[in-house]
Amino acid sequence: MSDLQTTDGPLLAADGTSLKASISRALRRQKIRALLLVAPLFLFICITFLAPIADMLFRSVENNIVPETLPQTTQAIQAWDPKSGEAPGEAVYAALYADLKVAVKARNHTKVASRLNYETPGIASLFRKSGRRMKNMKDGNYKEQFLKMDKNWGKLFVWEAIHRFSGPYTSGYFLSSVDAEKTSEGISLKPEDERIYLYLLWRTMLLSVVITITCVVLGYPIAYILADLPLRTSNLLMILVLLPFWTSLLVRTSSWIVLLQEQGVINDFLVMLGIIDDQSRLALMYNEIGTVIAMTHILLPFMILPLFSVMKTVSPSYMRAAKSLGASDWIAFWRVYFPNTIPGIGAGGVLVFILAIGYYITPELVGGTSGIFISNRIAYHISSSLNWGLGAALGVMLLGVVLVMYFVYDKIVGIDNVKLG
């Protein structure tokens, strides 16, 4: 018996429903099954990738600690004009007394002190000192009592900081990440001796480009040799390329410290050969050179593997055909072989560059003060100073730079031309 029934009207399925509706229902079930198969991966990406990025974006502008700890003060200070040149009136001091009294009891005054101290150094000690002496204050004449407690309560920089960061959201972290600050006069750059983040960002980009170029220069001939050798020999040599993946990052970095230091193996070898004298040993550690050498060694496999995969797909007949048409070895390589390997260079270059700008352990150990990256400051703010807002803002800035460079690369080269094999 046929599964389809024909009538004078539309075609019907075996269950008597419209054939079109039956097909749509079957396709819908297939889509649902496909979505259910993808759902675990999508959930994993959301939890491990998208959620941390969203949290980082939120922390870079979040400022709830100030209005939550000093609710009355932040409301009362809105009527004060920072450009007046005078401290706020009695009402603001009364509100501060009421807020600090509650905060000290809950032991929250140190948190708001740390937050404000990120922007204006010196406020943390002021809040802690005031917190210890709050029990000695009496009702009335709050301004006089605060000034007697510490004369800094009458200085404008304290109240300007509270006024600037009285809202639940702030641009202060992003301004600090670009070496700027917001004052009563508006947004301005910090003093020159306090500007570090833009310089660190520039150094990170520059050294990452140098590391990427160095990996291309060293990795291309290695990948070419591996692709040209017989399979058995190529596989044996590939073990040497993969060996860094099986070695601890700290072990590799420590090895470079032993090799590169002034009393290290390389300098001793050069002195032994008479190339340099003992008083003129090369400074290969705790500077940009040490960072470039160590990072190149660590990231070189990420350049070799994409190049090797792409080179294996280039047929040897291309080179033979070019030579049969009269091209020299160099011309055949440059005009035939090399263009076919550019997608591998692009893939390896993008991979090495993005990995390089995010490394912080190796630059911290071998870079010294002149070879560290901006990622070192991000790690410092996250784990040491606990200024998560500034660390998040620096992370967002670094993410933005990577996305811009990725967009430029896509426009110039085309991300579709990148191949990993």
Residue 12 shares a structural domain with residue 133: no
pLDDT at 4: 46
Residue 217 has pLDDT above 90, yes or no: yes
Listed residues 40, 59, 78: the one ending a domain:
59
Model pLDDT for residues 179-209, shown as the tens digit of each residue:
888 877 778 888 888 889 999 999 999 999 9
Same domain for 153 and 282?
Answer: no
Mean pLDDT within 410-414 = 73
Q: Is residue 182 part of a domain?
A: no
Distance CA 181, CA 186 (A): 8
| CATH, residue 299 | 1.10.3720.10
- The answer to whether residues 90 and 54 belong to one domain is no
User: How many domains does one find in the chain?
Assistant: 3
Return the HEC string of the chain. CCCCECCCCCCECCCCCEHHHHHHHHHHHHHHHHHHHHHHHHHHHHHHHHHHHHHHHHHCCECCHHHHHCHHHHHHHHHCCHHHCCCCCHHHHHHHHHHHHHHHHHCCHHHHHHHHHHHCCCHHHHHHHHHHHHHHCCCCCHHHHHHHHCHHHHCHHHHHHHHHCCCCECCHHHHHHCCEEEECCEEEECCHHHCCHHHHHHHHHHHHHHHHHHHHHHHHHHHHHHHHCCHHHHHHHHHHHHHHHHCCHHHHHHHHHHHHCCCCHHHHHHHHHCCCCHHHCCCCCCCHHHHHHHHHHHHHHHHHHHHHHHHCCCCHHHHHHHHHCCCCHHHHHHHHHHHHHHHHHHHHHHHHHHHHHHCCHHHHHHCCCCCCCHHHHHHHHHHCCCCHHHHHHHHHHHHHHHHHHHHHHHHHCCHHHCCCC
Residue 153 lies in a domain: yes
Identify the pLDDT of residue 416. Answer: 67
The answer to whether residue 192 is domain-embedded is no
- 181 lies in some domain: no
pLDDT of residue 26: 81
243 and 358 share one domain? yes
Q: Give this prediction's pTM.
A: 0.81
Q: What is the extent of the structural domain holding 312?
A: 197-417
Q: What is the pLDDT of residue 418?
A: 61
Query: Do residue 73 and residue 133 come from a single domain?
Result: yes
Q: What is the pLDDT of residue 15?
A: 62
pLDDT of residue 2: 45
pLDDT classification of 12: cutoffs 50, 70, 90: low
Percent of the chain residues topping a pLDDT of 90 = 28
Task: Write out pLDDT tens, residues 354-394.
Answer: 999 988 888 988 888 888 899 999 999 988 888 899 999 99
- CA 191 to CA 266: how far, in whole Å? 41
Residues 303 and 386 occupy one common structural domain: yes
Domain membership of residue 175 (yes or no) is no
Residue 177 lies in a domain: no
**Is 178 domain-assigned?**
no
Query: What percentage of the chain exceeds 70 in pLDDT?
Result: 93
Last residue of one domain, picked from the residues 59, 85, 100 = 59
Is residue 362 located within the same domain as residue 265?
Answer: yes
pLDDT higher than 70, residue 271: yes
Residues 94 and 130 in one domain: yes
Could you say which of 33, 59, 85 is where a domain stops? Answer: 59
Q: Do 285 and 334 share a domain, yes or no? A: yes
Report pLDDT digits (tens) over 302-347: 999 999 999 988 888 888 898 888 888 889 889 989 998 988 898 8
- Residue 415 has a pLDDT of 67
Residues 288 and 345 in one domain: yes
Q: Is residue 241 part of a domain?
A: yes
Identify whether residues 15 and 102 lie together within a single domain.
Answer: no
Q: Once rounded to an integer, what is the mean pLDDT over residues 262-280?
A: 88
Residues 314 and 404 in one domain: yes
Q: How far apart are CA 258 and CA 262, in angstroms?
A: 9
Mean pLDDT of the chain: 86
